[in-house]
Chains A and B, each alone.
Chain A
Amino acid sequence: MIKKLTSLIFLLSATCAWAVNSPINGLVQANCSIYTTTPGEYGNPSPWKLSTTAADGGAEAIIRVDIAAADYYRTKFTHPNSFSSSPTLTDGVAWTGSTTVSSHSVSGMSAYEAAKVVVSNTTTYNMTLAGSTWFKVASTASYGSADNTALPAGNYTAMIVAECIAK
C-alpha cells in the first residue's frame, strides 16, 4: 500500500514539473541611427568671431552614426553657412567648418577619413562597415568684411545637418 502510494505521489509530482519557454524575439534590420552625442557650442573668442574650437571657448559637435549592416549607407554632414537664428546682422559673415572622424568601433573605419569627399560645406562618408563611428563637426563664423566689426549681442544658433542615405 505504501509502495503504491509513493509511486502515485512520484508520478503526480513528475507530471506537474512543466517548463514553459518564453522567448524574447529580436530583429536586426539594416538601419542607420544618428545620435547627437554633443550638440556643439560656440565660443566668442573675439568680438567678431564665433567658434566651436575648444581653445576659443567652444565645443565641437559630436555625432555618432550606428550602422547595423555593412555597406548599406552613406553619411553626409553639412556644417553651417548661415545662422538659423541671430540678432539682425548688417554685415556679411564668413563661414568655415570641417567634419572629421573622431572615433570608431571597428579598426577598418580608420580608412573613412582618407576616403571622405568634401564638396562645399558638405562632407560625405561611405559607410562600408557595420558599427559605430563618431564624427566631429567644427564651425567658425567671422563677422564683417574686416576683423573689426563686433557681432551684435544676442543668441546665435546655426544648424548642422547630419544625414544617413541608403546606397
Chain B
Amino acid sequence: MLLGFQAQAHEMTPAYPKFELSYIDGVSVTKMSLFNRRSEISYFEIGVFTKDWKKIPFASTSKLIKVRYTKRYPFEVYVRNEDLDRVQYICTISKILKGEEQISQIASRICSKVN
C-alpha cells in the first residue's frame, strides 16, 4: 500500500564515543555527528541507554533533533558523572511526525557504544 523510491540512508559517528569532562561541574560530555540522507525523514530522537537498554537521563541541545536531508548534524550528549559507568549506548532513531502521511515504513536506529 506504499510506494518505493531511491535509496536513503541514516548514519552516525563515532562508533565508540568517549566522554570527557564538560564545563559543568559533575557532568561529562561527548560529541556525536548524525548524517541524514533519508529525504523522507527530518527528525531523529537521541537516546542514552544502559547495557540492558534502560534509559539514562541526559541533556543535549534537544532530544528530538531536526536534520535536513543531506545535512550533517553535530551534537553533544551530556551525562552526569554518577551515571557514566552505566552508559553503554548512545542511539538515534528516525521519527515520523504524528498525523504526517507515512511515506516510509522503515524506522532506522543507529547506536554507538561507550566503552
The residues of A with any CB-CB pair to B shorter than 8 Å are 29-42, 44, 50, 59, 61, 63-64, 66, 69, 72-73, 84-85, 155-167
Q: A31-B11, A31-B15, A73-B15 are in contact. Are A165 and B3 (CB under 8 A)?
A: no
Contact A34 B113 (CB under 8 A): no
Contact A162 B106 (CB under 8 A): yes
What range describes how many residues of B lie at the interface? 20 to 34
Q: Which 7 A-B pairs have the closest CB atoms?
A: A166-B113, A33-B11, A34-B108, A30-B15, A163-B109, A165-B111, A35-B9
Contact B113 A165 (CB under 8 A): yes
Nearest-CB residue, chain B, relative to A59: B4
Nearest-CB residue, chain B, relative to A154: B1
- Cα(A155)–Cα(B103), bound, Å: 12
Contact B111 A39 (CB under 8 A): no
- Cα(A70)–Cα(B6), bound, Å: 26
Q: Which A residues touch B16, using CB under 8 A?
A: 30, 166
**Chain A min CB distance to B16 (Å):** 6
Q: A160-B105, A160-B106 are in contact. Are A39 and B15 (CB under 8 A)?
A: no
Contact B107 A42 (CB under 8 A): no
Across the interface, B106 reaches (CB within 8 A) one of A36, A44, A50, A72, namely: A36
Q: A33-B11, A34-B11 are in contact. Are A39 and B107 (CB under 8 A)?
A: no
Please encode chain B, from 78 to 115, with 1 for each CB lying within 8 Å of some chain A CB and 0 for all others. 00000000000101000000000011111111111100
Contact A164 B110 (CB under 8 A): yes
Across the interface, A32 reaches (CB within 8 A) one of B8, B105, B110, namely: B110
Contact A157 B110 (CB under 8 A): no
Contact A84 B102 (CB under 8 A): yes
Contact B9 A33 (CB under 8 A): yes
With A30-B15, A36-B9, A50-B1 known, 19 other A-B pairs at CB within 8 A are A29-B14, A31-B11, A31-B14, A32-B110, A34-B11, A34-B108, A36-B8, A36-B104, A44-B1, A69-B15, A157-B2, A157-B105, A160-B106, A161-B107, A162-B108, A163-B109, A163-B111, A165-B91, A165-B110
Contact A159 B105 (CB under 8 A): yes
Contact B106 A157 (CB under 8 A): no
B24 interface residue per 8 A CB criterion: no
Interface residues of B in 14-33 (CB under 8 A from A): 14-16
- Cα(A159)–Cα(B96), bound, Å: 11
Nearest-CB residue, chain A, relative to B109: A163
